Amino acid sequence: MFIILSIFLLFTANTFAFTPDLCPEPFEEYTDCGSRCFESCEWTPATSCLAVCEVGCFCISGYKRDANGRCVLEAECLPKECKNYFETWSDCGSRCFESCTWTQATLCPTVCDVGCFCDPGFKRDRHNKCVPADMCSNIVKNCGPHEMWIENGNRCVEQCSQFPLPCAPREEAGCFCKPGYKRHNRTGRCVKEKNCFAPKLNSCFTPT
């Protein structure tokens, strides 16, 4: 009888300790299945969170728990700070596109990375520093077949198109098709201008 009474008192004490009225801090509420991961200011869509139910006091809807353990408005979560110059925090950036070694022929996986990325107009050099994009010119550029590196190229003029396509002309550094070649709309490779429209239905075509 004593053991049964002890178990009952222990269960009652645990239940009482987590009643909604006893959540000690502002903007908290009791739940019997919450996640410490999702309520954190540090959470991002790329964060791995274990699907585990926890009992206790959690931040109410619209609030997140900051580094001091307080529930604050989501908008008040401290922004991520980058220590290096010319960098800004992003919850969904690409390490591939910001590299000085990136070219039009580079295959970049469509993956969201979380962290500090170079500001617009800057690229990451081989020392992992963000530098003005025009300073990347001292790096050896590896372009694809029938391509050449140009510091001030125009993507609009290298298109394979019988009719002018909507294109905002702007100068940029990168790999462009050599004279006499155009970029094939389907393959993205540089082909001879005469072969831009060579493919026919049910026929094979090998860019040259």
Same-domain check for residues 69 and 18: yes
pLDDT at 38: 79
| Residue 108 to residue 90: CA distance in whole angstroms | 18
Same-domain check for residues 83 and 113: yes
Same-domain check for residues 21 and 32: yes
Single-letter amino acid, residue 154: N
Same-domain check for residues 52 and 66: yes
Residues 64-110 pLDDT 10s: 888 788 899 887 776 677 888 999 888 778 777 788 877 655 667 66
Residues of the domain holding 31: 2-76
* The residue to which tokens 């739940």 are assigned: 31
- pTM recorded for the entire structure: 0.36
Q: Supply 51's token pair.
A: 């699907």
Residue 157 reports pLDDT greater than 90: no
Domain holding 65: CATH number?
Answer: 2.10.25.10
Residues 29-69 pLDDT 10s: 999 988 888 788 877 655 667 767 889 999 998 898 887 88
Same-domain check for residues 83 and 72: no
Same-domain check for residues 40 and 70: yes
| Residue 32 to residue 14: CA distance in whole angstroms | 12
Same-domain check for residues 130 and 152: no
How many folded domains does the chain comprise? 3
Phi, psi torsion values for 138, nearest 5 degrees: -85, 0
pLDDT at 165: 61
Phi, psi torsion values for 153, nearest 5 degrees: -95, 170
DSSP 40: B
| Contact (Cβ atoms closer than 8 angstroms) between residue 25 and residue 57 | yes
